[in-house]
Amino acid sequence: MKNLIVASTSTIYGGTYLEYLEQTLIHHFNDADEIVFIPFARPSGISHDTYTKKAEIFFQKLEKKLIGLHTFKNPIEAIKNAKGIFTGGGNTFLLVKQMHDLKLMAPLRNVLLNGTPYLGTSAGSNLCGITMQNTNDMPIVYPPSFKTLGVIPFNINAHYLDASPTKHMGETRETRIKEYHTQNTVPVVGLREGSWLEVKGETIELKGNLTARIFEQGKEAREISGMVDFN
């Protein structure tokens, strides 16, 4: 039974790292005293060690031990044996390339389908979708495939922004997603900052104070709250 937290961001405006998710994560990782951290997205180009230390500060407050996946001699076995897993944000292209290069996609998918509790933020949430094609990130590397975990039946557009009625923003997120749907059929969920999806088995519920925006090929975009479905 899948047990996932798929969050738009790690930090909301005015808050500290993962603070807004603290109560949710206390419950989510209740039975995991040790969590494997996947730091491969490297936000702002920081090192794996630096990124792990940043995440470690938060999890120490929860009395959880956080271990960077990059420190294991056999990362596939580390994923298979993990009691909990967290993939942080950063550059989705870099994250997906590293996951494919290390042959970690299939092992991670298998443990998530079998109930290992997982937290993804930003790029780590994009990883949960069918593909990474709705990321906002620059293609700084070339992954061998855009395919990702497919543990949710749609793609994520993290940090989703609405068009401003008072200023020009260039191409809006909605415009770009509509362009995507001229060539692709996979639905897209636009997650606004401070929102997350709680996945329990096949049930997916939107959490936080904001609605999410649903995009499907050939249909008008719509707002949802509560349960996420495409019926």
User: Could you tell me the domains of the chain?
Assistant: 3-153+193-206 (3.40.50.880)
**CB-count exposure of residue 83 (10 Å: 0-12, 13-18, 19+):** middle
Q: What angle do CA 172, 178, 183 make, to 5 degrees?
A: 140
| The 155-157 sheet, strands edge to edge | 155-157, 188-190, 212-215, 222-224
Q: Is 27 a catalytic residue?
A: no
Query: Using an 8 Å Cβ cutoff, are 66 and 37 in contact?
Result: yes
Query: What is the predicted pLDDT for the residue at 230?
Result: 77
From 122, 181, 195, 229, active-site residue:
122
Query: What is the predicted pLDDT for the residue at 167?
Result: 73
Query: What is the predicted pLDDT for the residue at 229?
Result: 85
Confidence band for 109, pLDDT divided at 50, 70 and 90 = very high
Confidence band for 116, pLDDT divided at 50, 70 and 90 = very high
- For residue 42, pLDDT over 70 is answered with yes
Distance (Å, whole) CA 112 – CA 117: 7
Region of poorest pLDDT, from 41-50, 60-69, 157-166 = 157-166
From 137, 145, 162, 181, active-site residue:
137
pTM for the whole thing?
Answer: 0.96
Convert the pLDDT of each residue in 179-202 to its tens digit: 999 999 999 999 999 999 999 999
**CB-count exposure of residue 48 (10 Å: 0-12, 13-18, 19+):** middle
- For residue 169, pLDDT over 70 is answered with no
Q: Is 162 a catalytic residue?
A: no
**What mean pLDDT is reported for the chain?**
96
Q: Is 122 a catalytic residue?
A: yes
- For residue 231, pLDDT over 70 is answered with no
Convert the pLDDT of each residue in 120-167 to its tens digit: 999 999 999 999 999 999 999 999 999 999 999 999 999 999 887 777
From 159, 162, 164, 181, active-site residue:
159
